[in-house]
């Protein structure tokens, strides 16, 4: 084997897609992974030599394959070759749907960099010589963090850097996440690299998009955890014929809504345009179409995910079906999702809007809404809220410094049907009524959720029904005569398709409750956070006797949530066994860990 002549000049080589091609670029050994791998390695050797580099200069090697099972059968070809060359570059295997040439099942991506004698090498050598009589000082070896940073160039940032502080900040800026390092990979392959390097160095990995659901994570000790932010992965594509969207896992709902509506299509997004598609869908996802079309988790038709062994795989009904089942509602415990495929619906518009009253009308409005919502057709999805706004100048006049009651939501159907549905509430003479025909895109902002970084504390509970006792408790805690430190006390209407098992659904295929109570308080200062937390805990405790005992984990931001309560016991057991299979070392840390 030829190697490059010794030199102190810096030289680098990055190669992508080295395959089993002959000298004129024709594929050799079609559909034969063993032969393709051997020839790809030979071609890699030629390319290294041409660049004046050798096998010892190889730093990373990525094997991309369309058939991971077949590749693993012939993987010895690679490991034996590397052993023969006396090298051990960091190696990852990534499953991909296609490679550049039809019939190609294996391709190699490599990064080589000439090993020059650096100041630290000199230092290390001196230390090593000295070490023949004395133990080398710990600081002479690269620390675990340094090793991680250098294994993933540009993607990992440690404490003390500006990037670390910028990227550890979640959407909920009241939370202080202090992980061992923050990784911001810019491609799915780089996600696989980060996971492989982190696992190799004994770190855990916490996937995170926007940080809307960061409360569960920030409450944990993250000193041994790499926080993997997917914020750089934001590409969304829509296939209007197949009615699907492929959404990279750092995208937020607004990205999808905008693109889908151009084709007359809608996704099962939630109430906030800047909530992350991944965290929302993996945790269930209830939005304005939910009582007709169910949980967003069950609109996932595939995920691309990096599992604990650093493999990037596609999980769908045919491939890795157990993993596919688990991620649909089971959350972020099974790997780092790099992209999701979602089924879209042919919805162009809806009869939607809001009705608003002063808080003095809370009781009659809640009683009317509760009776109506329980029996409403599946086409109707609404929410009831008591909102207490501070006198902030940026708020519109009708909200600034006021306490109000709002019912908002959407009706799927024509105007006459929509009007007939909201007529009982209209009869209560709201001071504002915006219900009418709106384009589907408008639903992403209907709820007026805060966009951009927002300090808050929250919590939720699932209610069996809105009977007399539950209504009385809710009003006593947050009604006109109460003064909780709570911005929004919300009741979301469940039932309909949300209450029925989704055909072929995932781990969360329905919600076993009639309403979900969700409470949120502004936490601009530690004192406000403490007051908000105390008020929310008090309301949750008061509502507990009326609850199902279950939890909708997406909205569960209170302390001490037991993720087990998010699922029926057999589901929990199955989630645990899938987790044990795909992440036996317990690498991944979700905000609500399962298994
Ligand atoms: C203002 C507001 C409005 C909301 N409205 C709704 C609503 O209408 N309906 C609803 O159902 N929920 C709603 N939620 C809850 C929201 O769905 C959850 O907070 C959800 O977890 C947010 O996802 P994210 O990716 O933005 O958050 P993150 O905090 O980034 O992620 C939450 C968790 O999801 C997992 N995760 C995220 N990305 C990945 C990934 N790429 N791979 C693997 N795991 C990953 C991780 O376990 C992570 O800890 C709302 C929350 C807020 C704050």
Query: What distance in Å separates the CA atoms of residue 527 and residue 533, rounded to the nearest whole number?
Result: 10
Query: What distance in Å separates the CA atoms of residue 466 and residue 410, rounded to the nearest whole number?
Result: 20
CB 484 within 8 A of CB 503: no
State yes or no: pLDDT of 110 exceeds 90: no
Q: Apex CA 21: angle with CA 18 and CA 26, to 5°?
A: 140
- Which residue CA neighbors atom 41 of ligand 1 most closely? 337
From 268, 275, 331, mutation site for ligand 1 pocket: most ligand atoms within 8 A of C-beta: 275
DSSP 547-579: B-S---GGG--STT--GGGGS-HHHHHHHHHHH
* Helix pair angle (569-582, 321-330), 10° resolution: 120
Ligand 1 interacting residues, C-beta cut-off 6 A: 207-214, 217, 230, 249, 270-272, 275-276, 278-280, 282-287, 331-332, 336-337, 449, 554-555, 590-591
Residue 24 has a pLDDT of: 62
Q: Return phi, psi of residue 221, to 5°.
A: -75, 115
pLDDT-derived band at 117 (thresholds 50, 70, 90) equals very low
Residue 12 has a pLDDT of: 75
Q: What is the CA radius of gyration of the chain?
A: 27
- Which residue's entry shows tokens 């089942």? 325
- Which residue's entry shows tokens 């919300």? 490
Once rounded to an integer, what is the mean pLDDT over residues 358-365?
98
CB 278 within 8 A of CB 305: no
141 or 490: which leads in pLDDT: 490
State yes or no: pLDDT of 73 exceeds 70: yes
Strands 90-95, 236-239: parallel, antiparallel or unpaired by DSSP?
Answer: unpaired
Q: Token digits for 41?
A: 């390695």
CA 326 to ligand 1 center in whole angstroms: 16
| Atom number, ligand 1, closest to the C-alpha of residue 275 | 26
Q: For 476-517, what is each residue's pLDDT tens digit?
A: 999 999 999 999 999 999 999 999 999 999 999 999 999 999
| Atom number, ligand 1, closest to the C-alpha of residue 456 | 53
- Which residue CA neighbors atom 19 of ligand 1 most closely? 213
CA 303 to ligand 1 center in whole angstroms: 16
CB 66 within 8 A of CB 36: no
Average pLDDT, the chain: 90
Residue 23 has a pLDDT of: 65
From 315, 511, 554, mutation site for ligand 1 pocket: most ligand atoms within 8 A of C-beta: 554
- Which residue CA neighbors atom 53 of ligand 1 most closely? 212
Q: Among 30-34, 401-405, 567-571, whose mean pLDDT is lowest?
A: 30-34
Q: Among 125-139, 225-239, 451-465, whose mean pLDDT is lowest?
A: 125-139
CA 199 to ligand 1 center in whole angstroms: 24
Question: Is pTM, for the whole model, over 0.95?
Answer: no
Task: Quote the percentage of the chain above a pLDDT of 90.
Answer: 74
CB 398 within 8 A of CB 346: no
CA 284 to ligand 1 center in whole angstroms: 9
Region of residue 461 (phi > 0: left; psi between -120 and 50: alpha; otherwise: beta): beta
pLDDT-derived band at 549 (thresholds 50, 70, 90) equals very high
137 or 211: which leads in pLDDT: 211
Residue 28 has a pLDDT of: 78
Once rounded to an integer, what is the mean pLDDT over residues 525-551?
98
Query: What distance in Å separates the CA atoms of residue 41 and residue 49, rounded to the nearest whole number?
Result: 12
Reduced to 3 states (helix: H, G, I; strand: E, B; else coil), residue 208 is strand
Give the C-alpha distances (Å, rounded to integers) separating 223 from 57, 159, 197, 589.
33, 11, 17, 12
| Atom number, ligand 1, closest to the C-alpha of residue 210 | 30
State yes or no: pLDDT of 140 exceeds 60: no
State yes or no: pLDDT of 323 exceeds 90: yes
Q: Give the contacts of 483 (CB within 8 A, at least 6 positions apart).
A: none
State yes or no: pLDDT of 392 exceeds 70: yes
From 249, 252, 283, 557, mutation site for ligand 1 pocket: most ligand atoms within 8 A of C-beta: 283
- Which residue CA neighbors atom 5 of ligand 1 most closely? 271
Pick from 382, 457, 482: nearest CA to 175: 457
Q: For 164-185, what is each residue's pLDDT tens digit?
A: 999 999 999 999 999 999 999 9
CB 495 within 8 A of CB 394: no
Pick from 383, 372, 382, 380: nearest CA to 488: 383
Residue 48 has a pLDDT of: 78
Region of residue 111 (phi > 0: left; psi between -120 and 50: alpha; otherwise: beta): beta
Once rounded to an integer, what is the mean pLDDT over residues 284-302?
98
16 or 427: which leads in pLDDT: 427
Helices (H), 479-566: 526-543
Q: Give the contacts of 260 (CB within 8 A, at least 6 positions apart).
A: 238, 245, 266, 267, 344
CB 101 within 8 A of CB 69: no
């Amino acid at each position: 084997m030829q190697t490059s002549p010794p030199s102190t000049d810096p030289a680098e080589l990055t190669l992508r897609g080295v395959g089993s091609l002959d000298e004129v670029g024709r594929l050799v050994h079609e559909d034969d992974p063993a032969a393709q791998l051997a020839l790809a390695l030979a071609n890699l050797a030629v390319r290294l030599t041409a660049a004046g580099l050798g096998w010892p200069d190889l730093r990373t090697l990525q094997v991309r394959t369309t058939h991971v099972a077949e590749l693993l059968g012939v993987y010895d070809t690679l490991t034996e070759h590397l052993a023969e060359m006396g090298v051990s570059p960091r190696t990852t295997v990534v499953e991909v749907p296609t490679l550049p040439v039809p019939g190609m099942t294996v391709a190699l991506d490599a990064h080589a960099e000439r090993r020059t004698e650096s100041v630290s090498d000199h230092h290390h050598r001196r230390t090593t010589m000295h070490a023949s009589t004395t133990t080398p000082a710990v600081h002479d070896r690269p620390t675990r963090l340094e090793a991680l940073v250098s294994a993933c160039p540009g993607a990992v940032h440690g404490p003390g850097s500006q990037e670390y502080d910028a990227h550890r900040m979640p959407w909920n800026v009241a939370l202080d996440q202090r992980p061992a390092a923050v990784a911001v990979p810019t491609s799915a392959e780089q996600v696989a690299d980060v996971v492989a390097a982190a696992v190799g160095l004994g770190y855990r990995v916490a996937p995170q998009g926007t940080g809307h659901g960061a409360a569960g994570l920030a409450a944990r000790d993250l000193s041994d955890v790499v926080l993997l932010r997917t914020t750089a992965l934001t590409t969304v594509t829509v296939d209007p014929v197949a009615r699907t969207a492929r959404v990279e896992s750092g995208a937020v709902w607004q990205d999808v809504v905008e693109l889908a509506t151009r084709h007359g299509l809608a996704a099962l997004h939630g109430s906030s345009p800047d909530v992350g598609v991944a965290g929302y869908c993996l945790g269930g996802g209830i939005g304005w179409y939910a009582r007709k079309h169910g949980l967003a988790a069950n609109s996932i038709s595939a995920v691309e995910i990096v599992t604990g062994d650093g493999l990037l795989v596609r999980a769908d009904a045919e491939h890795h079906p157990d993993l596919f089942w688990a991620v649909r509602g089971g959350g972020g415990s099974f790997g780092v999702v790099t992209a999701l495929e979602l089924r879209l619906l042919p919805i162009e518009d809806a009869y939607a809007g809001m009705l608003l009253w002063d808080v003095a009308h809370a009781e009659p409005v809640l009683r009317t809404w509760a009776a109506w919502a329980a029996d409403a057709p599946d086409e109707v999805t609404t929410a009831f809220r008591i909102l207490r706004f501070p006198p902030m100048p940026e708020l519109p006049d009708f909200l600034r410094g006021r306490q109000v009651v709002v019912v908002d939501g959407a009706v799927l159907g024509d105007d006459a049907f929509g009007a007939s549905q909201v007529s009982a509430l209209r009869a209560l003479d709201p001071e504002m009524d915006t219900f009418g025909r709106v384009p589907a895109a408008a639903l992403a902002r209907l709820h007026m959720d805060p966009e951009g970084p927002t300090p808050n504390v929250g919590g939720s509970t699932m209610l069996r029904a809105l009977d007399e006792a539950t209504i009385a408790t809710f009003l006593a805690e947050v009604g006109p005569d109460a003064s909780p430190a709570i911005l929004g006390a919300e009741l979301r209407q469940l039932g309909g398709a949300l209450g029925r098992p989704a055909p072929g659904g995932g781990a969360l295929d329905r919600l076993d409750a009639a309403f979900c109570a969700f409470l949120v308080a502004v936490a601009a200062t530690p004192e406000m956070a403490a007051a908000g937390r105390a008020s929310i805990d008090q309301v949750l405790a008061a509502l507990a006797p009326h609850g199902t005992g279950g939890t909708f984990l997406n909205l569960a931001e209170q302390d001490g949530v037991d993720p087990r309560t998010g699922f029926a016991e057999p589901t929990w057991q199955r989630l645990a066994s899938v987790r044990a299979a795909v992440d036996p070392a317990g690498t991944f840390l979700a905000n609500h860990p399962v298994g």
